[in-house]
Structure 1
């Protein structure tokens, strides 16, 4: 069958997928079939060999492959020549596999030695084959022009990694606070600019660090939240008529659009602040005994919403649970470093602030409800597992740090809030009810609180 201006047609090799081995283009790789090699002989299974010229060219070879694959005979041996005459020969032991990308009933040969290496058949003139075979560099360039990077999915042992690679199993030390834009009018139809939201997030972080919360900045980003809008809000925000209006979105915290069903959708541009403990988190297990009448420490909450150990009983001896667990020494070390001993988790539950509402209130955990839970632990004699933020000092240095603290005066720049003499009597929940806290059966309060009031704290 003449092609290319009368030149004799042959069935040639076309490399479909390259080998993963480095010897494909090395000296030892000459035995591998390459694009442009002329097929001389095909032997399928135990059938007699079929030699060139092949009836019907490539189409005839594909019919042979289809018939063999259909009867389950997929083992094939191919011999090809490279260059003029029989200057060089190459052999391939392979299996016949379908090639759906080339069409129905199309097949390629996949090497038995390297499953990543696959070749197909094409009709070419012998002149073209000689040109392709002309030099090693030309074959490399040809292969390079057709090479494609492959991607796929590989399994990963997530459960094992989350259990073994994290300081707190199945819990991330990457934390965040979502700051919603502040409403600029009582009807909450207009909001302050994204710059104002970024500024408030920055002020919150700086205030936390100034007050002694041992956290460091990681990242900050805007976050789009979808909401349904109507009325004045819709009329003032759904006003994008052309691409030129996109420039106006840079300085707004709420913009809207109308979906295909005519519903007005609002996009609130909030800010998410990412932070992490300065030196990770440390677990403190408080084991309780039958004679414990108190835990020996008090908790408070900062204006920014972090709960921390505000005082620890400084009695001599180890009869108090806080002293037995090492919490007292840890608290003293935090005071020596001018840091707050912030509680990040109780058991597996986070007790950190996580959102700022459009009114400016910080959503965080209540010290009263937390004290109730800890008091129930004491009465039930169930151990308490607290996680606290660490600062620059590593846990291995705490022993030496405690000794230094006990032999030197505390830094004058840090003074923990003094404990209250008794539980406050004027605490109320959002529904107006008083918390059911009072003195315990032993006649002493297990916890004492300094609760900073925040407007609209419980939302």
Structure 2
């Protein structure tokens, strides 16, 4: 920025030993001391008028009480000796005054530091006081060279813009604390997904339905889940590529991508293959992953067990889509663990809104469906093993932490910590009703049985007359527990 020359005063003895009064034969060829910008400012303002720039002509140096004016004896080397002596004497504060053109001046308040990083051990550079990242040095140039550099300021800015990269960095983050405090379930997300594999279209298992069929089945699954009363919302859907080794008829029908022109033929296929350099047929299966989340979050309920408890007071079942839900609760009995924990109250409120009270976790383990096989079977959790685990909790007198899906948006508080604290108390949360959907009931209640005499204290899983374990039609990994003799199955 334009400035008048500062009227610094100094004795003739102070400046005469550092200045030369000899005149140059030609103004354009006169050697002057100029500025060389060594490191840019972190504030990105080195191109403003207040900052020194490469090509600025040094007019004055003020170190402590010593003032040195242009022309400088021995140029850069002479100034380096001055900087060296000042640094040894711990006089490192310096004020540099420069000229641009004939009447534009600027100043920089800096400190003298060794230039190991820039110019070598025996050289000294200046770092700006208000921005230590900005460093400049001195360079001998002719005045014409300096004026040319000053005139090319705009082109140099463009050049600097093109060659200046963005630097990446790292920042530490308290993951353990955040994952404990900021999640409704500590150290676990409430994002759920289910993977749909393409369905086999022939008995030999060599051909599969196209991608559109897989997408349609995923769409039908979430629509049916919501219609049955499961309080979930759609989040996202994506294709997921899985690699496998092909052989036989599957390889002959799938290995068809031999050129770029063939890629258009596999745009909607669920399985395509290629042959690697060793002659092995590699297949790419295009599955579909559907992401969903509870409508209003999930909440934990602690079910505490007393020595006098003979049953938990609720029954569970599984929907056709693979969700575990509370089928029924014992009514008019406030002494059951389900009633004391508030689970019975939540079940009644969910029923009033035509929602299923879906169990998402037991002891912090997720119990939701997670895959659909190529035969169409939904891979989910076995209700027999779940009922056995719940009954073992009761026999061992170990409290059960059950997470259920919420269905009311007004219950989804911003402070998830308070949700957990409220859920762990014995008072059930107040959840007003709001949405009404059709609910379909399912008959497969799968709890260990009580005896016909209700006043008898017996172990449900040990006393189960007329019960049959039947392989579930959903796949080889699950069983359905059917009671053909008794009306009610309770935990």
User: TM bucket by the smaller chain?
Assistant: 0.7 to 0.9
Q: Using a 3 Å threshold, how does the CA distance of structure 1 residues 260 and 377 change in structure 2: closer, same or farther?
A: same
2:461 corresponds to 1:442: no
Give the Cα separation in 2 of the matches to 1:194 and 1:97: 64
2:365 corresponds to 1:365: no
Q: Using a 3 Å threshold, how does the CA distance of structure 1 residues 341 and 96 change in structure 2: closer, same or farther?
A: farther
Aligned to 1:333: 349
Deviation, 1:50, is: 12
Give the Cα separation in 1 of the matches to 2:312 and 2:356: 19
- For structure 1, list consecutive stretches of 5 or more residues without a partner in the other structure: 406-410, 426-438
Given the alignment, which residue of 450, 454, 458 partners 2:473? 454
Deviation digits for residues 186-214 of structure 1, max 9, x if unmatched?
33222111111101110100010011100
Aligned to 2:40: 17
Which 10-residue stretch deviates more, 413-422 or 160-169?
Answer: 413-422
Aligned to 1:430: none
2:255 corresponds to 1:238: yes
Give the Cα separation in 2 of the matches to 1:93 and 1:400: 66
- For structure 2, list consecutive stretches of 5 or more residues without a partner in the other structure: 1-27, 414-427, 479-491
SS in 1 for 2:309: coil
Aligned to 1:200: 217
Which 10-residue stretch deviates more, 189-198 or 262-271?
Answer: 262-271
2:285 corresponds to 1:268: yes
- Please, what TM-score do these two structures have when normalized by structure 1? 0.76
Given the alignment, which residue of 344, 350, 360 partners 2:366? 350
Contact 2:368 2:380 in 1 (8 A): yes
Q: Using a 3 Å threshold, how does the CA distance of structure 1 residues 110 and 309 change in structure 2: closer, same or farther?
A: farther
Given the alignment, which residue of 396, 410, 421 partners 1:380? 396
Q: How many residues align?
A: 425
SS in 1 for 2:267: helix
Given the alignment, which residue of 304, 318, 327 partners 2:334? 318
Given the alignment, which residue of 38, 48, 52 partners 2:57? 38
Give the Cα separation in 1 of the matches to 2:460 and 2:36: 87
Aligned to 1:436: none
Deviation, 1:286, is: 0.3
Which 10-residue stretch deviates more, 184-193 or 118-127?
Answer: 118-127
- Please, what TM-score do these two structures have when normalized by structure 2? 0.71
Deviation, 1:230, is: 2.7
Aligned to 2:274: 257
Deviation, 1:302, is: 0.7
Give the Cα separation in 2 of the matches to 1:179 and 1:9: 76
Deviation, 1:83, is: 1.6
